[in-house]
Amino acid sequence: MKLLSLIIPTYNMEALLPRCLDSLLVPETLERLEVMVVNDGSKDGSLAVANRYKERFPQTVTVIDKPNGNYGSTINAALPVAQGKYVKVLDSDDWFDTTALVEFLDKLEAVEADMVITHFSILHDDGSREVTKYNVYGREPYDYGKVYALDDVLKDGYIRFFLMHALTYRTALLRDFGYRQTEGISYTDTEWACYPVFYAKDIVFFDINLYQYNLAREGQTMDPKVIARSLGQMEQMTRQLIRFYGTQDVSQLSYTRQAFLRQYYTNRIRLMYKCHLLDIPRDQFDADHFAELEKELTEACEQYGFGPIRLYPENKIIRTDALRYWYHYHRRWPRWFEVFNHMVDKVMKWLFVHIFKR
């Protein structure tokens, strides 16, 4: 049995996959690590690259070759056969800090927890690097290496959401509740960060900057241009999250867990409103489509107790509600106001990163 299984979804990443794998395969990791490269019907040489690494490191690297089914299908193919006590996802255009990985494996050997949280770096196309930690304005409220009951962490209010890059799970947790990711669309890593929260009992934080998240690559799914083209898939993902919520007996969860999940879903719906009313280009905004979507999501909020939803800018300075403006005028903010808002957003994000996230 391996200590950690890494699932690496791969689609047309021939050029970047070697950097990803080289960051993992060092002598200190080979016996403890299972590297599962899942080739999702790539049309380039990704499969050949993966097989070369499998030949070099047969005790560590496994290759799953499958027809294209998008991101979720790669997780579904790998998770049932993963050999590690813990499991984590690493996208093939990203990589790990190798020294941090060795330290991470050392710490995993001495801990028992359903959820493990590590820091990650976001690498931007301007060359800047942003370190993301689960803290508030520089304050780190939890002792690293201490296992907490997840409810005790959620009730503090510091943790409003989790992101895939920070998450490692105990493999048995996912298997026990039959985890399965939606196939055929992008952005399903949201399920990886959401569904286990319904079931996990405990959590531990490590002061390790492990995941190096590459936002600089053109065509990356979080590129604003790609998001604008793929907004329909994000809407499908939001509907799937809501359907999952409806299948759960939420009343059996603690009040703390219920409150966290309601806020999580409120934030997810807010994100959809933000994409339509603030983020996508004005010439791509379809008022009729958004009106139908807003009606659908409002009904979900009423059914499950999500909300209320306010759509203020991220900068915390301009306190004008874009959603309220939509309700009143049935259109987006004026163009001049959007330009001003984006300028303030950019300045405030730069200040936040350089003051609090160094």
Q: Which residues contact 68 (CB under 8 A, 6 or more apart)?
A: 11, 40, 41
Phi and psi at 208, nearest 5°, equal -135, 125
Check if the beta carbon of residue 145 is closer than 8 Å to that of residue 206.
yes
Say what the pLDDT of residue 345 is. Answer: 83
Say what the pLDDT of residue 353 is. Answer: 67
In 186-341, beta strands by DSSP E: 202-214
> In one letter, which amino acid is 239?
R
Say what the pLDDT of residue 83 is. Answer: 97
Check if the beta carbon of residue 156 is closer than 8 Å to that of residue 75.
no
Say what the pLDDT of residue 342 is. Answer: 83
Say what the pLDDT of residue 94 is. Answer: 97
Q: Which residues contact 313 (CB under 8 A, 6 or more apart)?
A: 278, 320, 322, 341, 344, 345
Angle value at C-alpha 24, between 168 and 35, nearest 5 degrees: 65
Say what the pLDDT of residue 111 is. Answer: 96
Q: At what angle do helices 231-247 and 255-274 cross, to 10 degrees?
A: 160
Say what the pLDDT of residue 225 is. Answer: 66
Measured distance CA(272)–CA(287) in Å, rounded: 14
Check if the beta carbon of residue 88 is closer than 8 Å to that of residue 115.
no
Measured distance CA(209)–CA(155) in Å, rounded: 25
Decide if domain 2-214 falls under CATH 3.40.1260.10. Answer: no
Say what the pLDDT of residue 140 is. Answer: 82
Strand, coil or helix: 139 = strand
- List the domain boundaries for the chain: 2-214, 223-306, 310-358
Say what the pLDDT of residue 47 is. Answer: 98
In 137-271, beta strands by DSSP E: 147-149, 167-170, 202-214
Say what the pLDDT of residue 224 is. Answer: 55
Measured distance CA(241)–CA(81) in Å, rounded: 25
CB-count burial class (<10 Å; 0-12, 13-18, 19+) for 66: middle
Task: Provide the whole-model pTM.
Answer: 0.91
Say what the pLDDT of residue 137 is. Answer: 58
> In one letter, which amino acid is 51?
N
Mean pLDDT by 10 residues, the chain (358 residues): 96 97 98 98 97 98 96 97 98 97 98 97 88 76 94 88 95 98 93 97 97 79 64 95 97 96 96 93 93 97 95 82 95 92 83 65
